[in-house]
Structure formats: C-alpha cells, structure tokens
Structure 1
Amino acid sequence: MLRPYRQLLAVPHLASLLVWSVLARLHGTGTSIALTFLVVAWTDSYALAGLVMGALTVGNGASGPWRGRMADRTSAPRLIVISALCYFAGLVVLVALPASVWYAAPVIAFLTGLSTPPATQVVRGAFTRIENAQARTAAYGAEATLFELTFMLGPVLTAFAVGVLGPRWALGLVAVVALVANLAFAVVLRRAGMDKPVPRPVLPAGTRRRSVLATPGLALALAASLFLVMAFTMVDLAIVALGRELNMPTVAGALIAVWAVGSLAGGLIAGGLPGQPRPALRMALVGVGMAALIPVLPPVLDPTSPVLIGLILAIGGLAIAPTISAGNQRIGDLAPPDRAAEAVGWLASFTTTGGALAAPLAGWLLDRFGPAAAAAGGAVVMVFATALMARSVTVVRRTAPAADQREPQVPKAV
C-alpha cells in the first residue's frame, strides 16, 4: 500500500509542490469566516454577510477558467505572484474599509475573488505530467486528503484569531498568510522548473482552437463533480439543521468533524491501493453512505442518536476523499496536456455552481420535511453524479480507447 507513496516521493520537487500548494489554499475557509464576522460586526446582519461572501465566491468561480487558461499559457510562478498580490490588496482594502461604507464590500469582494491565486489549477496541471500511473493516483489522493485538513484547521484557526484579535485583524492575518504561502509556492514552482508552460500543438492554418469543454467526456466529468458538490452541501446543511433541532450546535460541528476524519482515513488508504481508480464506483459508494443517513435522521427517527449518526458518517466518509481524488484525476487525464489547468479552472466554476444550486434546494427540503429529506436529496443527486461519470468513461472508450493510458515509467521530474 505504501509503494505508490514511495513512488510519489521519488519524483523530484513533487512533495514540496504538494505541501505548498495546500498551504497556498489554506486561506480559503479562513477568509470566509473572518469576512463573515467582520460584515456582521459592521451591519449586524448575516444576510448582508452572506451577500458579501457570495460576491467573493462568484468572483472566484467566474474567473476559474480564465486563471487556468493563463496558467497554461504563461509562467505559473509569475501568475501566482501577481494574483497573490492582487488578492492580498483586495483583502487589505476590506480590512481598512470603514463600517459606514459597508455597501462597497460586495464589489471589493467580487474583485478580490476574481484574483484568487490559481494554486489548485497549477498543481493539478503539474500532476498530469506524472507519467507513472500509480504515483499520479497517489498524488491526487494525497492532495485530496491534505486539502481535507484545510477544511478542518482553517475554520478553527480563524475562529480562534477572531476571538483573540477581532474580525478586522483576523482578516488581515488571513491576508498575510495567503500572500506568504503563495509567494513560497511560486518559489517552489520555479525551483521545480515549472516557469514555462507546456508547448501548445500547432494547428493547421485556418483551424480554430475548440473549447476545452469539447474534449470527449470532459464536460460530463465536470457535471458529475457539480452534482457531487451539491450532494455534499445538502448533507452538510442537514447536519447543521440537526444540531439546531437538538438545540446543540456543537453536535453538528462534531458530526461534520467525524465525517472529515473518515474522509481523511479513506483518502490515505485509497491513495496507496494498486490499480487505477474507478470514479463512478466511488461516487456510487458516496451515495450509499448518504442514503444510509435517511433512516436515522428526523423525522424518520425522532428522537435520534448522534452517536449512531456519527458512526454512519465515519463509515460513509471513507469514500469522500477517494471520490474527490478520482474525479480530479479523471478530469486531469481527459484534459489535453497543454490545457490541464484550464480544465481545473472549469472545475472550480462547476463546483461553485453546484454549491449555489444546492443551498436553496436543501433549505426547501429542510423547511418542508426535515433533515432526512435533505440527506435523501443528496443521495438522489449522487445517482446523477454516478451516471454522468460512468457516461464520461463510456464516451472516452468509444472515441479514443487509449486516450487516458500512460506508460508506467517513473518520471525524472514534474
């Protein structure tokens, strides 16, 4: 089981790229929490805080493909540095903004989101250059697992900073962390020799370059990821609603943490398994885990047992990180080598859309029927995700049977 990880560590610079790419994204969850507290302190309104955070998220999602395209065509370290400086400047403006002009915050947040450093696009584009199939799988698995840690540590550390320093200084601290981590990531990229993009193939005269979404199977895999994020969002909200119904918000936090711990364990195990991942099968397992929650949530089981729910979440969570890593790898394998970062940018747009669609749908189910209905909605959505991913595999096999096969050779560099 450890062999793929040993192969991963044998690739020069890959371990440092992986670690620093995760640290370069640690600010994501911290920004949302610190900014929410800051806007609530200004306006005493969570609705207005949601408006500002929505603007930041929309900016990030809308510019994902563009930032990925730039990463494919220009120097990745230079792009990281420029975008990190712009992102830092946007957060500093929000920190310095007087409470009396809070209405400017959505515009500033949107512009800040547009300049989010494309660490995700860059590092996953680097993964596609790994020729050894097992090392490539381990890289995606390790990235998904480490990224889970940012969702566990980011909110905790930021909430602590808000409590000690206040929301304004906490947001300033997040800005500094984002800048420093991304500048360090840019240095690692340059040392790894990734300051030049992958050469683009020369097209015949008069031929227009098609959208990367026209790549066989890619749009289907991206749509599957959209539904996957929808399902995660719906179950998250179901757990939060359960904590509210029990009048024990800490229970919701503990259950989500248990879910994340299961995901971490599953990611570490799956990354070391032999053979290539089967993303459709893994998505089906995620759906089964969500369906298992239905009988133990209100109003189906009322009163319910948080211990029983936690056990089901821990077991079901084992499939989460493996599914995310398999989906990411599938998208990377489908994308043309010179447009891998752009494909990952589209993934950001699709997943952002999935979260935006899931929130009102889950809210309606929770209001009408309760937490069990939201979990059922997540399970149903996973049926669509599984079908789309399976269809993506079928389309590629029919159009190019060996399109995603690579020689299992240990590469000399990333």
Structure 2
Amino acid sequence: MTERIPGEASAEPENGTSGSLIRHGEFRTLWVAFAQSVLGDQLARVALSLLVFERTESAGWTAATYALTTLPALLSGVLLSGLADRFPRRTVMIGCDLVRAALVGLMALPGTPLPLLAGLLVLAQLAEAPFGASKGALMPAVLGERLYERGQRVMMITYQAGQLIGFGAGGVLVVWLGSHLSLGLNALTFLISAVLIRLGVKARPVDTSADARPKRLHTQVGRAASLIWSDPRLRSLVALGWLAGFIVLPEGLAAPFAEEAGGGAASVGLLLAAHPAGMVLGAAFLGRPGIGAERRRRLLGPLAVGANLPLVVYWAGPGVGVALLVLLVSGVCSAYQITAGATFVLLTPADQRGQALGLARSGLTAMQGIGVAAGGLAAELTDSSARTIGGAGVVGTLCAVLVAVSWSRARGRSGGTIPLSA
C-alpha cells in the first residue's frame, strides 16, 4: 500500500502509553461518546428483553426481540456503510446518533405497541452500520497510522468492559429504573454522543484521493467486494475475522451447557463474562511496549488457532470451572481480532474504507449468526451442548490453520512486512 493519510500521520512512537491517547482531544471525545453509548446499549438490551417478556410471557418473542438488536446490522452493513465514503464521516456519525436518539426515545414511551416497538428497533439498528463504518474509517485520520491500532485496542477494551458491567449490573439497574426509563437513558446516550462528536471532532471533507466516487449503490458495493477479493492480504484478514463464527458458539449455548454441566443460573453469567474478560487481558498483553505492530501481525495466524483450539476440551464434557478457564484462554487469543481489523483498515484505500469495512462487518455478523444457529440445531440433534462446542472447536481449528497459512503466504508476497505507508 502506498498512500499515506495526508497531514494526519502522528510522529508519536508506537510504544507510548494509553494515557497519551486519552490526552488526544479528538480521540478522547470519540472514546467518551463510545463508552457511554456502550453502557446505554447494554441497559437497553436488558430492558427490551424484560419489557417484551412482561407483555408476552413468551421466551420465543423475547429471544426474537434480542435478535433484532443485532440482525439489522447485517443488511445495513452492505447497503448503508457506503454513506461513510459518500459524505463527511463526522456528519454521518452525528446523523446516525440523532436518528437513533429519536427512534429509541419513541420506544421508551409507555404503551408503545409491540409491533411498533419492533419496527422502531429495526430502524434504529439500521443506523449502527454506517455509524460504525464512519468511526472505523475516521480513526486513522484522527490518530495517524502509528497510533491507530492502539486506539482500536482501547476501544475494544472499553467495549468488553462495558459488556462485563452490563452482565453484572444491567438487570439490577433495569429493575430499579424500569424498562421505559432505561430505554430513555439509552436515547439520551445517543444524543450526548452526537453533541460530543459535533463539538469535539474536527470536520473533514469527503476523501476524493482516488477515482471518482461511484454514484450507484451496486457499483460501490461491487468495487469494495472486488478490492477485498483481489488482494490476498485483505482476503486473509477478513477470513481471520470471520473465524469468530466458531468462537461465538459457547456464548450462544451458555445456558444449556451450564445445565448440562450441573451449574446453576449464576454460572451462565460467569460463562458469558469469561471470554470478554480474556479478550481484555489479551489486548493488554499484546499492547505491551515490547510487542511491535509487525510482530503482532506475525502472530495473527497462531493466535487464531489458539482462539479455537481450546474449545476442543468441551468434547470431554468439562465442568463449569474448566469451561471458564477454556473460555478465558480462548478470549486471550481472540484479541488478535484487534490487529486483524486495524491492519485491514490501513491496507484499504482511504476513499473505500467505509464500504469495505461495512462488508467485512456484515460478513462477521452473518458468520456469528450462522454459527449460533447451526450450533443450536446440532445441539438439538446430538442432545449435547458440550460436544457441539467441542466439534465447533475442531472445525474452527482446522479452518484457522488454513487461514493462518493463507495469511503467512500473503505476508510473504509483500516481502514479509506489511507496507502501510510510503
């Protein structure tokens, strides 16, 4: 890759501290906006589940509503992520936040009929993909290439920590505040995010450094797909990300596995929290000053294998304690996803980052959904959640080995290093 982000490259050495990132005004604004939105989203997911269950007393409807908090991103990732390349990215982020604030605010009104509630939820979630694509494409311009991966690491740790807090305190807060007030607080977090981004992030024009921007959606999507497919490095990085389709299965089967292993209801929360906790530890370890960016890229393949291989232990029918250790180790290795994602963005031409990132994230969402759905079906057929997860670990490990070889060859063709800038 030969382009350099114009005028934005940071002279700060890569091995600075995370505190130096927080002192960076624009990044601090994006981080605060993201952190409070994550907490609001976790609160809203619990509130929606409880609200729907209270009205319907149906586990099926409750699960379907929870699925609506993630599935629309699959569609909008393909159709709407290109907005991040057509319009100024700060403008897209502010617009998405304001749309979500209005829609979730309507959902918070008492007495909203369930069909209308579901429709508002779908519309609100459609705005997530263009927001995420814009933020991901904007971050290299905010931090420069040297600090970008470290910034992504801080964002990931924040997200995982938000999930851990949500698992531990979300239910208690929703019971105390009530479902409608909890949804109202989530709407407020989107409004706060929009204000913070408007005041704290510099306006940047649309990137026109490459070919004239395509005007039609199918042309824009086709160009991004062709870009990914034609570059073996981008193909391998996308495949490394999509391996999460295997790794997510223990989360989807946490409740039936806990029952199968003789654990109580409290063990479900621990099983759900173990993998995010491992990712936080892994991110901190890989972010140490002694581990440079090129070394992290060399470790992508081995870590991808390491994220899947521990799941094979489930085949032996472990207890909850052993499963927690397995998930913790898998989570530590899964922190490779930060480097894979950051490298993908930096290898993508600046004017196509939004759409390419949207396609990659949509595929990731699809793979996770397919993985959980296929795992649920397999668990029904085999009557064993543990063996289903263990089987996914075997298949995932084999796929990870193949992708690791592909990534190693792609790096070899580029001379053993990834030239991110001139």
Alignment match, 1:412 = none
What amino acid sits opposite 1:264 in the alignment?
Answer: V
- Candidates 242, 254, 273, aligned match of 2:270: 254
1:294 aligns with 2:306: no
- Candidates 90, 100, 103, aligned match of 1:90: 103
Q: Distance in 2 between matches of 1:393 and 1:11?
A: 34
Alignment match, 1:225 = 241
The 5-angstrom pairing of residues 18-57 of structure 1 reads 18-57=31-70
What amino acid sits opposite 2:91 in the alignment?
Answer: R
How many corresponding residue pairs? Answer: 395
Change (3 A) 1:359 1:264: same
Alignment match, 1:411 = none
Aligned-partner SS, 1:128: helix
Q: Distance in 2 between matches of 1:307 and 1:92?
A: 41
Change (3 A) 1:309 1:92: same
Q: Distance in 1 between matches of 2:251 and 2:213?
A: 49
Structure 2 unmatched ranges of 5 or more = 1-12
Deviations 1:289-342 (A, max 9, x none): 5433433x4x724xx443333333333322222x12012112202311112122
What amino acid sits opposite 1:162 in the alignment?
Answer: V
Asked if the contact 1:262–1:314 (Cα under 8 Å) also holds between the matched residues in 2, the reply is yes
Structure 1 residue 386, shift from structure 2 partner: 5.1
Change (3 A) 1:116 1:131: closer
- Candidates 252, 259, 282, aligned match of 1:237: 252
* Aligned-residue RMSD, C-alpha: 3.3
- Candidates 339, 352, 377, aligned match of 1:339: 352
The answer to which of 331-340 and 214-223 deviates more is: 214-223
Aligned-partner SS, 1:3: coil
1:274 aligns with 2:292: yes
- Candidates 168, 186, 204, aligned match of 1:195: 204
Aligned-partner SS, 2:205: coil
Alignment match, 2:4 = none
Q: Distance in 2 between matches of 1:120 and 1:195?
A: 17
- Candidates 159, 162, 166, aligned match of 2:171: 159
Alignment match, 1:314 = 328
Structure 1 residue 353, shift from structure 2 partner: 0.6
Change (3 A) 1:386 1:278: farther
Alignment match, 2:180 = 168
Asked if the contact 1:83–1:117 (Cα under 8 Å) also holds between the matched residues in 2, the reply is no
The 5-angstrom pairing of residues 74-153 of structure 1 reads 74-96=87-109, 98=111, 101-116=113-128, 118-129=130-141, 134-153=146-165
Q: Distance in 1 between matches of 2:284 and 2:85?
A: 29
Q: Percent identity?
A: 15
- Candidates 267, 270, 281, aligned match of 1:265: 281
Q: Distance in 2 between matches of 1:290 and 1:389?
A: 12
Structure 1 residue 269, shift from structure 2 partner: 1.8
Q: Distance in 1 between matches of 2:408 and 2:309?
A: 25
Change (3 A) 1:42 1:345: same
Change (3 A) 1:115 1:274: closer
The answer to which of 347-356 and 235-244 deviates more is: 235-244
Asked if the contact 1:235–1:378 (Cα under 8 Å) also holds between the matched residues in 2, the reply is no
Structure 1 residue 66, shift from structure 2 partner: 4.2
